[in-house]
Amino acid sequence: MLRSLYLVVFVLIVGLAQAQTDSTLNSKKEEKVKTGFSMGGVPALAYDSDLGFLYGVILNFYHYGDGSNYPNYNHSLYMEWSRTTKGSGKNILEYDTRTLIPKTRLKAEFSYLTEQALDFYGYNGYNAYFNSDFLNIDDTTNYISRLYYRHDRKMLRTGVNLEGQILGKKLRWLGGITFNGVEIGSLDLDRLNKGKDQNELLPDTATLYDKYVAWGIIPSDQKDGGNVTVLNAGLVFDTRDIDSSPNKGIWSEILFQAAPDFLGNKYSYTRLMLAHRQYISLINKKLVFAYRVSYHTKLSGEIPFYMLPFYVSSNTIKDGLGGSKTLRGILRNRVVGDGLGLANVEFRWTFFRTVIANQNLSLVLSGFGDMGKVIDPYDFDKSGVTAGYGFTKEENLAMLNNGPEKLHISYEAGLHIALNTNFIIAVDYGLAGSPDDGKSGLYIALNYIF
């Protein structure tokens, strides 16, 4: 079993008002209209017995101009830098502006992500067999490796997306391009075992990824990753009152993705993403009911396995279903297929709101439920499966067709700390509804998941 202990040493919110520092009271109680610059930061320290110490910082700079757009910002610059002592790391730079180009929103990203142990549980949700005993070092009968369901991934992602007005700010067009350079490999056991005691060493054994490669389930020309350039086009209908933490309104979108061969893609495919979010104010400024439903499906071509575990919308690209941004409490990337359905519901209660040192601060409790399912299964070749790795051929095949897919459900609660509406520290704890999806997860990140 993967043993990890996450120690959040401290969370620091820093508010800096520069340029125009004479923020004034608006008509809504004590909330101040922000002008000029503002900054939020979150330093943290963590430890994982297999991945090592994590250290880093997240910074988000905002510019509100004369405050006429507040609580929305004019410019945002997001920077994240973190490392673990065993080689994982995040280098993220994101720029978002509503005013650089008239009536057009521009979002640009440059990220380089290195993961020593990325979650990989196979395809099609519950069809892929999951056994937590394989991870439990104390189970002498079934133990394989604490990182049996993991592999190495390095990814460079860079892209630009534009949103332009059709009917004012409510109806907008979307277009952009994203490059993904993905390198995949087996676990680097020499690095992961460095400094470990003899009884803590990860065994030199095949992981699920290694087995899939050996059997040809992951084709030989996909096992090492590849480069994929994707074109995005779509429509967004948005009536939210505040982008970062809406009290009311809807946000609906239709997004097409194409990875055409004329851009140098080895695998050409198209996908469709539909999503609808609604925010209902039950008690003004205090209690909001929010929900999101979405559907992703392949329209044509073949999506290489390393491009499957992503959740894509008009404003974000995140890991696939499972984990902090989709199914909280469920194993990361547990739900992977050609077509996916996702639903999230939340009650958000703002129980404290004040102004400290000229900064608007609010505390929000949330209770929520998440659910997802593979709707269109990912088709793969099982003809190369053989006996081996301690199992018969029939047992290995059975693990690839474990049973019918059904809803993956989790239940959670969270605390959100919001500085000037836009910089939001989210602490969520989720419980998986089925042991086949793991047990629970604690997540400390930025922003609401939708």
pLDDT digits (tens, 9 = 90+) for 136-156: 999 989 999 999 999 999 999
State the pLDDT at residue 195. Answer: 86
- Segment 347-356 shows an average pLDDT of 94
C-alpha distances out from residue 413 to 327, 345, 366, 373, 418, Å? 13, 11, 6, 21, 17
For residues 363 and 424, is the Cβ–Cβ distance under 8 A? no
- Segment 88-93 shows an average pLDDT of 91
Looking at the predicted structure, is the pLDDT value of residue 52 above 80?
A: no
For residue 378, give the DSSP letter. P
352/313: higher pLDDT: 352
Name the band, by pLDDT with cuts 50, 70 and 90, for residue 50.
low
State the pLDDT at residue 48. Answer: 62
Percent of the chain whose pLDDT exceeds 70: 91
- Segment 404-414 shows an average pLDDT of 95
Tokens 């490999």 sit at which residue?
185
Name the band, by pLDDT with cuts 50, 70 and 90, for residue 230.
very high
Instruction: Say which range, 88-97, 105-114, 308-317, has the weakest mean pLDDT.
Output: 308-317
Name the band, by pLDDT with cuts 50, 70 and 90, for residue 17.
very low
Q: What are the residues whose beta carbons fall under 8 Å from the beta carbon of 166, sequence distance 6 or more?
A: 172, 173, 235
Looking at the predicted structure, is the pLDDT value of residue 210 above 90?
A: yes
Name the average pLDDT for the chain: 89
285/283: higher pLDDT: 283
Instruction: Say which range, 27-31, 125-129, 156-160, 356-360, has the weakest mean pLDDT.
Output: 27-31
Looking at the predicted structure, is the pLDDT value of residue 337 above 60?
A: yes
State the pLDDT at residue 10. Answer: 40
Looking at the predicted structure, is the pLDDT value of residue 347 above 50?
A: yes
State the pLDDT at residue 9. Answer: 36
Tokens 């101009």 sit at which residue?
65
Sorted by where each starts, the structural domains of the chain and their CATH numbers stand as 4-446 (2.40.160.50)
Whole-structure pTM over 0.75, yes or no? yes
Looking at the predicted structure, is the pLDDT value of residue 40 above 90?
A: no
C-alpha distances out from residue 3 to 37, 88, 147, 289, 325, Å? 42, 17, 10, 36, 22
Long-range contacts for 86-95 (Cβ within 8 Å, ≥24 apart)?
86/50, 86/51, 86/52, 86/116, 86/191, 86/192, 86/194, 87/114, 87/116, 87/188, 87/191, 88/51, 88/54, 88/114, 88/115, 88/116, 88/117, 89/113, 89/114, 90/56, 90/114
Name the band, by pLDDT with cuts 50, 70 and 90, for residue 266.
very high
- Segment 48-55 shows an average pLDDT of 71
Instruction: Say which range, 1-10, 101-110, 237-246, 401-410, has the weakest mean pLDDT.
Output: 1-10
